[in-house]
Every structure is written in structure tokens, then in C-alpha cells.
Amino acid sequence: MVRTRAHMVAMSLHVAAPTICITEEEALNTYYSMTLYNPALARHISSVEVRLSHPIRHLLQKLQRILRHLSHIDTLIIQIPPISVPECRTLFGSIRFPNLILFSGGTLPHKGIHQFLLRNPGIQTLILKRCVGRSDCSCPTVPSLNISEISGPSTCIAPLICGSPLLRVTATYDRESDNHISLFASFALLSANITYLSLDFAAIPRDFDILKSIAAAAPFVMSLELIQKCASGELIYPWNDAVRWANDLRSLSYLTLFSLRTSASLIERVGHKADERRLIRRWSGDAMQFPPQLRAIDLWYRLYRKSEPGLASFWKRGRLGWQRASSTAISYRTL
């Protein structure tokens, strides 16, 4: 048998690390040799991260073999350059990961991971990003998953949560035409109590009622983050009607933390404490009727203007009412 350098490296690993992180082709070859010549070592590994920045089409077969020998892992994170749907299906083959509870698929095409998800219903945390070829991304409903935390494009993750005991959701917009309609419809089919929501929104009339929609779809939300996506033209913010905004905010009875990130200036004198307090009072309704549980408001505003810093202000409610805990200038790049 010819002993390659990678083989020697692999054979010298007496105790494999519980987590392996493959960031270079050489490392991938090393682990490939390890699984080839000493598969017993792979049993010690519980978590795998593959983070490669260069094209890996020529490495997919090797990567599949590595994954096949690591089928007992509980965490799998794959961050690689875009590959096609057939290539993605080739990558996972028919591998089952009985212990897998966290899967982060990076930019893997969502249509390509559908069968993978069906084979691995034990996944509890699912993290997806914008999928390439989004125009034809139509994930079929996956009814048998057990997801408690999910993150990804709103319309892509909506079919994946049916029947899941969902607690935490991060739903993003990739394009201005995106919306949360299908996601909120999926919430209605859940028996779970969603307590954390992070949602993109657009400063257009379609999202004017976003708080009202959240109150109907996820009435038990305790931590809510709204993030405005860049938009052009005349922007219409849901808090333009302060009375309605206050009423909708109050309808979120369990809310304890409210975070808002927006390009709007929100107040006349950006960063001015008295102006921020007036804004919070206006949003809280005439008699400070916030949800009684609401204890903190995190405002990130006047973002997206690259030439000017934005502001991050954190307000806490105590015995003396609302007090600003911190105020920090932030750059557009912070997002």
C-alpha cells in the first residue's frame, strides 16, 4: 500500500477532535484518508463544519464519503460555494444521520436538501440561507420534522415547519417582492408557542400591518425583532400611524423585548435622549399601555446611509419608567 502524506497524517491522529472544521482542500483530503484507512477514528467526532470558499465540484464525492463515515454526528454545518440541485443530491446520497439535531446548509439549493430533510426528522435546529436559483425554489411541504428553531428565507422555510414544535423563527426577505404570508399561514397549523421572532419587513404598504399579523400568527411571542430591508422610492413605515402602531404593539401581550432596525430617522434630532423618550411614549399609547411585560426596547435606526453612522439605543423599563441604558453610533457595515 502506498502511504501518501495525507494517509500518514490521518494515521497519526490517535484521538480525533470531537469537532472537525474543514476549511481547505488539504484538510478535506486528510479527513478523506482518515475515513478510508481508519474509520474507527471517525466515531469520536460529533460535529462537522465544512467551510470552503473555492469551487468544490471535484471534491463532492470525497466529501460524501467523509459524511457517510460520520453518520453519527449531531451537528453538520456546510458553507460552500453554490452547487446545483443534482450535485447537492449527490453530496448527501442516501445518508442518514440518526443523531443529527443541528443542520446549517449555507447556500445549498433548498430543492436539493428536501430528501435529506425527510431522511433526518430528528433535526431540531435548521439554518438555511438564500438559495441560488431562488426563482424556481418551491420546497414541498415536509410534514414530519421536529424543528424547534429555524432560520431562512420566509417563503422557503414556510413549508418546512408544518407540525414542528417551533419556538424560534428567523425569517428573511431576499427580494422586495417577498412576504410572510405563507409563513404566517404555516404558524396557524402549529400547536407550538413561538416565543422568538426575527422578521425582515419592507417599508411599503404591504407590511403596514405587520404587528397585527404577528399578534394573530404568533400571539405568545416574547422577543420580537423587526429588520427593515433596503428599499427604494418613497418609504412608508408601519409606525407612520402612531396610534395604530401603539395599539398593535399593545396587542402583543407577552412581549418582553422589542427590537427594531430601520433606515428611518425616527426622531428629529437623531440620538437625542429626550426625542427618543418622546417616541417611546408615543408608541406606548396615551396612558403608557405597553404590554405590561415589555421591559426593553432596542432601536437601531437611520441605517443604510453609508455616509452617515446610525444609532443603536437600548431602553429599559424599571420602577422609574423608561430609561436609556446605552446609545452607540454604529456603521452600516455592522449589519
Q: Of 141, 143, 206, 200, which is closest to residue 170 (Cα–Cα)?
A: 200
Smaller CB distance to Zn ion: residue 27 or 137?
Answer: 137
Smaller CB distance to Zn ion: residue 47 or 182?
Answer: 182
Query: HEC profile for 21-77?
Result: EECCHHHHHHHHHHHHHCHHHHHHCCEEEEECCCCCHHHHHHHHHHHHHCCCCCEEE
**311 and 272 Cβ atoms separated by less than 8 Å:** no
- What is the C-alpha to C-alpha distance for residues 286 and 69, in angstroms, rounded to an integer? 63
CB of 52 to Zn ion, least distance (A): 21
CB of 128 to Zn ion, least distance (A): 7
Segment near Zn ion (CB under 5 A); pick from 74-82, 134-142, 285-293, 306-314: 134-142
By DSSP bridging, strand 149-153 and strand 168-172 are: parallel
Segment near Zn ion (CB under 5 A); pick from 12-20, 127-135, 284-292, 319-327: 127-135
CB of 94 to Zn ion, least distance (A): 22
CB of 138 to Zn ion, least distance (A): 8
Q: Of 179, 126, 134, 123, which is closest to residue 152 (Cα–Cα)?
A: 126
Output the CA–CA distances (angstroms, integers) from residue 28 to 14, 96, 224, 225, 326, in the order listed.
Answer: 18, 21, 40, 38, 45
Segment near Zn ion (CB under 5 A); pick from 25-33, 105-113, 174-182, 318-326: 105-113
Segment near Zn ion (CB under 5 A); pick from 108-116, 157-165, 307-315, 322-330: 108-116
Segment near Zn ion (CB under 5 A); pick from 28-36, 128-136, 265-273, 301-309: 128-136
Smaller CB distance to Zn ion: residue 114 or 250?
Answer: 114
- What is the C-alpha to C-alpha distance for residues 81 and 228, in angstroms, rounded to an integer? 27
Binding mask 54-93 for Zn ion (x = CB under 5 A): ----------------------------------------
CB of 153 to Zn ion, least distance (A): 6
Judged by CB under 5 A, how many residues of this single chain contact Zn ion? 4
Give yes or no for residue 180 binding Zn ion (CB under 5 A): no
Smaller CB distance to Zn ion: residue 137 or 270?
Answer: 137
Cβ atoms within 10 Å, residue 106: 17
Smaller CB distance to Zn ion: residue 86 or 98?
Answer: 86
- What is the C-alpha to C-alpha distance for residues 64 and 83, in angstroms, rounded to an integer? 14
Smaller CB distance to Zn ion: residue 79 or 193?
Answer: 79
CB of 139 to Zn ion, least distance (A): 6
Helix axes 25-37, 60-69, angle to 10 degrees: 50
Q: Of 96, 90, 156, which is closest to residue 123 (Cα–Cα)?
A: 96
Out of 11, 13, 137, 231, the residue judged to bind Zn ion by CB under 5 A: 137
- What is the C-alpha to C-alpha distance for residues 292 and 294, in angstroms, rounded to an integer? 6
CB of 130 to Zn ion, least distance (A): 8
Residues in a beta bridge with 329: 311
**131 and 108 Cβ atoms separated by less than 8 Å:** yes
Give yes or no for residue 156 binding Zn ion (CB under 5 A): yes
Could you give the residue ranges of the DSSP H alpha helices within 167-306? Answer: 181-187, 210-217, 242-250, 273-283
Smaller CB distance to Zn ion: residue 29 or 120?
Answer: 120
Out of 52, 66, 113, 131, the residue judged to bind Zn ion by CB under 5 A: 131
Out of 62, 69, 89, 110, the residue judged to bind Zn ion by CB under 5 A: 110
Residues present in the chain in total: 335
Instruction: Report the interface residues with Zn ion, using CB under 5 A.
Output: 110, 131, 137, 156
